[in-house]
C-alpha cells in the first residue's frame, strides 16, 4: 500500500480520482470550442510568464492536459487556465484535455486546489475563492479546509484578508507586501491605522516580525487611549471621530514612532505627548527622533 500524500494531495485526490474507471484518457479538443471557467479563482497572469509558457508550448507542445467539462455547445474549462491561454498565444488550434462532468462547486474546488498546488494564486485570489465556496455553495470553513487540504486556521486567516482596507488589498495583489505582512496589518481596526502601517511597511522595508511588533504597539496604544489617562484631568482632548485630521496625524506618528502618541490642539498651538514603556524604549525613541540630528 502506497503512503498517504500531503494535505493538498489528499484534497486534489478527493476531487479528481486517478483510477482508470473514473478518469478518461486525454483527447485533442479544438481551442475555439473551449470557454472560460466562470469559477476560475485566478484573476491575473503575468504577461512575461505567459509568453514564456507560450514559447515552451510552441517548441514542445502542451505536456500536461487541461481539464474540461462538456457542455451543450462545446466545453468549459475547469483547470489549466495558463496552459489554455498560452496555447492560444502559441497559435495552436487544438489542445490535449481530459473531459469530466463536474458541478459548479466541484469546478471551483478543482480549479482552486490546482492553483494552490502550483502556488499560482495570490493570497487575495485564494481568499475570494474560499469566500465563494462559503457564500455561493453554503460550505463551512471546516468543509472548505477539508476539501482543499488546508488547516481550518489557515482558511480562516486567509478569509480575514478580505476585511483589509482596499489599499492594503491592492498591495497584497501586486506583491508590495506578503500575506504575513497583511495578516499583521489585519489585526488593526479601521482603514486609517491599516493604511498608515502599510505605508511604514513599504517605505521602511519592515519584516513580517517587525510589522507584527509595530501592530502590537499600535493596538496597545489605541486601547490605552480609549481607556483614558486618569492623571490628565485637564481640558479633555477633542473627540478624534469629530476631527479626522487629528486622528490621521496621531496614527501616522504612532506608526512612525512605534508607540502611543496623543495630539491635543488648542486655539493657538497644542501639544504632542509621546509615551515610552521602559528605558530601552526611551533610548529607541531618542535615537529615532534625534539620532540623525547634527
**Which of 256, 293, 249 has its CA nearest to residue 271?**
249
- Is 70 annotated in the active site? no
C-alpha–C-alpha distance, residues 261 and 273, integer Å: 6
Which entry of 70, 81, 106, 114 is annotated as an active-site residue?
Answer: 81
C-alpha–C-alpha distance, residues 106 and 164, integer Å: 28
Can you read off the three cell numbers belonging to residue 40? 476560475
C-alpha–C-alpha distance, residues 53 and 83, integer Å: 8
| Alpha-carbon radius of gyration of the chain | 26
CA distances from 55 to 49, 60, 94, 180 (A): 10, 9, 16, 34
Strand partners, 77: 68
Which positions are catalytic?
81
Amino acid at each position: 500500500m502506497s503512503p498517504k500524500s500531503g494535505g493538498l494531495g489528499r484534497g486534489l485526490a478527493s476531487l479528481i480520482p486517478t483510477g482508470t474507471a473514473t478518469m478518461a484518457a486525454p483527447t485533442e479538443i479544438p481551442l475555439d470550442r473551449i470557454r472560460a471557467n466562470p469559477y476560475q479563482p485566478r484573476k491575473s497572469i503575468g504577461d512575461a510568464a505567459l509568453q514564456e509558457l507560450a514559447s515552451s508550448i510552441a517548441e514542445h507542445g502542451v505536456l500536461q492536459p487541461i481539464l474540461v467539462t462538456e457542455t451543450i455547445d462545446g466545453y468549459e474549462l475547469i483547470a489549466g487556465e495558463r496552459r489554455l491561454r498560452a496555447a492560444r498565444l502559441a497559435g495552436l488550434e487544438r489542445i490535449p484535455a481530459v473531459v469530466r462532468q463536474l458541478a459548479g462547486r466541484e469546478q471551483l474546488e478543482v480549479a482552486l486546489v490546482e492553483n494552490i498546488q502550483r502556488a499560482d494564486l495570490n493570497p487575495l485570489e485564494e481568499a475570494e475563492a474560499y469566500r465563494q465556496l462559503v457564500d455561493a455553495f453554503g460550505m463551512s470553513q471546516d468543509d472548505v479546509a477539508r476539501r482543499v487540504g488546508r488547516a481550518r486556521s489557515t482558511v480562516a486567516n486567509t478569509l480575514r484578508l478580505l476585511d483589509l482596507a482596499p489599499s492594503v488589498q491592492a498591495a497584497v495583489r501586486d506583491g508590495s507586501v506578503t500575506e504575513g505582512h497583511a495578516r499583521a496589518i489585519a489585526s488593526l481596526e479601521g482603514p486609517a491605522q491599516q493604511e498608515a502601517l502599510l505605508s511604514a511597511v513599504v517605505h521602511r522595508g519592515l519584516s513580517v516580525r517587525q510589522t507584527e511588533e509595530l501592530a502590537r504597539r499600535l493596538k496597545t496604544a489605541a486601547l490605552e487611549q480609549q481607556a483614558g489617562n486618569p492623571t490628565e484631568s485637564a481640558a479633555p482632548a477633542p473627540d478624534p471621530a469629530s476631527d479626522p485630521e487629528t486622528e490621521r496625524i496621531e496614527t501616522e506618528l504612532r506608526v512612525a514612532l512605534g508607540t502611543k502618541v496623543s495630539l491635543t490642539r488648542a486655539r493657538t498651538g497644542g501639544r504632542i505627548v509621546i509615551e515610552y514603556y521602559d528605558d530601552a524604549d526611551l533610548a529607541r525613541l531618542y535615537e529615532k527622533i534625534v539620532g540623525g540630528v547634527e
